[in-house]
Chain A
Amino acid sequence: MPTRNGVTSALGAAAIVLLALTAVLALVVSPAEVNQGDSVRLLYLHVPTAWLALYLSFGVTSLASALYLWPRTRSRFWDMLAGASAEIGVLFLGLTLAVGSIWGRPTWGVWWTWDPRLTSTAVLFVLYLGYLAVRGVPGDQAVTSKRAAVVALAAFVDVPIIHQSVEWWRGQHQAASVLDDSRLLDPQITGTMATTLVVAVVAFTVLYAWLLAHRMRVFDLEHRAGQEDLTAALAERRAEAAELGSAARATP
């Protein structure tokens, strides 16, 4: 059984090439910003990791969770997809917070501030950590999966709050440069900086697909190994019971 196939190999190769291109564009080609200087180059990590975690990973998790909860579409595939996507989302949301903090120090003068955008993002991080903890609770798999799906959908309510937080409340975090609802066709970032950002977002999206394919395969293999463990344990118990039965019959 190979651990990769043509699709995952192509995704992996594409992700590595695109990430390398992103690094060159972000660190060499793209210019420094007038006010922020070279620290603006952290933008090309901060925005793509936020896109990957908030909208892509948790969006897929919510959709898969809804499909799992709906009896007509319920299947193990949706549960695995939700779990794999959420795990990747938590990793990249952690990176969004970490890189944002590193960027905040030279830009704002602080590593952390209780700004509405930062606080609501930290809350989401904790919510999805809770989701992963619920998935890890031992017990009936179907019950655990249903509970986890409900938690995923409840946690996703925070995503539009995070998106709108820079509009609803006064804070330190800047307003949206690209995903500004009122200026979608006129973004506030242009030229090489815009190109670099687009390449970075595409690179992280391909990386997500690659990681997701492998993580789902691990879930599937774990399930199969668990089933085989159960079958082997049952066979062992049956053999023990048969041995005890024959020993009892042989005893006068």
Chain B
Amino acid sequence: MTHVAYLVAGYGVTIGAIAGYLTWVLRRERALVVRLAARAEPPAPRTGSTR
């Protein structure tokens, strides 16, 4: 392996790990915010036909 290959491996692992963790945290945060907001809203009144 050349030095370039080691650099690609080192920088690739680091960028991948940081991006993966950040994505997981932000997705989890977004999902929880949506879940809590949906609960906070009162149920919409039923309208229209009752058939």
Contact = CB atoms under 8 A, between A and B. Distances in A.
Interface of A: 1-3, 23, 27, 37-39, 41-42, 45, 49, 88, 91, 94-95, 98-99, 102-103, 105-106, 207, 211, 214-215, 217-218, 221-222, 224-225, 228
9 contacts: A23-B11, A27-B11, A91-B21, A95-B17, A102-B6, A102-B10, A105-B6, A207-B18, A222-B32
Contacts, number: 74
A95 B13 contact: yes
Nearest to A214: B25
A41 B7 contact: yes
A41 B4 CA distance: 10
B3 A3 contact: no
B10 A45 contact: yes
- Band of interface residues on B: 20 to 34
B25 A221 contact: no
Contacts of A95: 13-14, 17
B26 A214 contact: yes
A93 B39 CA distance: 38
A243 to B, nearest CB: 20
Interface string B22-50: 10011011101101110100000000000
B17 to A, nearest CB: 6
B6 A103 contact: yes
A106 B8 CA distance: 13
Give the interface SS of chain A, mostly helix, strand, loop or mixed. Answer: helix
Given A38-B3, A225-B35, A225-B36, A214 B29 contact: yes
B17 A91 contact: yes
A42 B18 contact: no
Contacts of B22: 211, 214
A91 B39 CA distance: 33
Given A91-B17, A218-B29, A106 B11 contact: no
Contacts of B10: 42, 45, 98-99, 102-103
